[in-house]
Amino acid sequence: MDIVKRIQLNCSVYRTLATSIETAPEKASKGSPGECRKLELELSIVADVGLVGFPNAGKSSLLRCISNATPLVANYPFTTLNPHVGVVEYEDALQLAVADIPGIIRGAHLNKGLGLSFLKHIERCSSLVYVLDVSVPSFMKQLEYLKFELNQYKSGLANVPSLIVANKIDTGNGASNLRQLCRKFESRGEMDSVIGISALYNLNTNILRNKLRDLKKQLHRQN
């Protein structure tokens, strides 16, 4: 959530007539006007992983499955208007902060759909999970569109370590679309980066949890 605080200091101070002898005088003279300053503080989230996708791709449902967060889930776009952060906990005491970023649409870098307010939260995520909706015909283009918006907002933003989650494989064409997506990334030698899940039925989400832990440890070794 964007938190904007405006702080204004406008002090009319009084100068007390204290001396080494009279340390607590009852007389004072009016001093000069105090300084006036307006400060705007903008807070952005910090997370190990950011969930990035189009509206209604299932990011909030996924966050519920893998973490302790309970964001609102509904079957309409822009259910999430503010980022939600959940903590993924593992048996070896490792913890990951995962942020559900509100849905990005085409033209977000031009502030369409409050895009700039959402994109800025991605900057401080160490890694990204692109959540694709494989129940719709445009599933093959979603990753391309998302990366374009990120890079238009900030050059190289889409180059951080990432995983690709194909959500809604439980739907009619979901399984066949997942196979098509996997073949595309297999030809690039990136098959391990694609995970097919159903957030609705909590299917394969443990595989994603393990992948996120491996990614975290890999980033830790690099740093």
Percent of the chain surpassing pLDDT 70 = 83
Query: What residue type is 109 in one-letter code?
Result: H
Q: Which residue has the higher pLDDT, 74 or 191?
A: 191
pLDDT of amino acid 10: 46
Instruction: Name which of 165, 89, 90, 92 is nearest 127 in CA terms.
Output: 165
Tell me the CATH architecture of domain 45-222: 3-Layer(aba) Sandwich (3.40)
Q: Where are the domains of the chain?
A: 4-41, 45-222
pLDDT 10s digits, 13-48: 555 567 777 777 777 677 677 788 888 776 666 789
Share of the chain above pLDDT 90, in %: 40
Give the pLDDT mean for 5-16: 48
Summarised one tens digit per residue, pLDDT across range 92-150 is: 888 899 999 988 989 888 888 777 888 888 888 999 999 999 999 988 999 999 999 99
Instruction: Measure the CA–CA gap between 56 and 215, rounded to whole angstroms.
Output: 25
Confidence label for 218 from pLDDT (cuts 50, 70 and 90): confident
Rounded Cα distance, 100 and 118, in Å: 10
For the chain, the residue count is 223
Q: Where are the beta strands (DSSP E) in the chain?
A: 4-8, 12-16, 28-33, 38-42, 47-53, 84-89, 95-100, 125-133, 162-167, 194-196
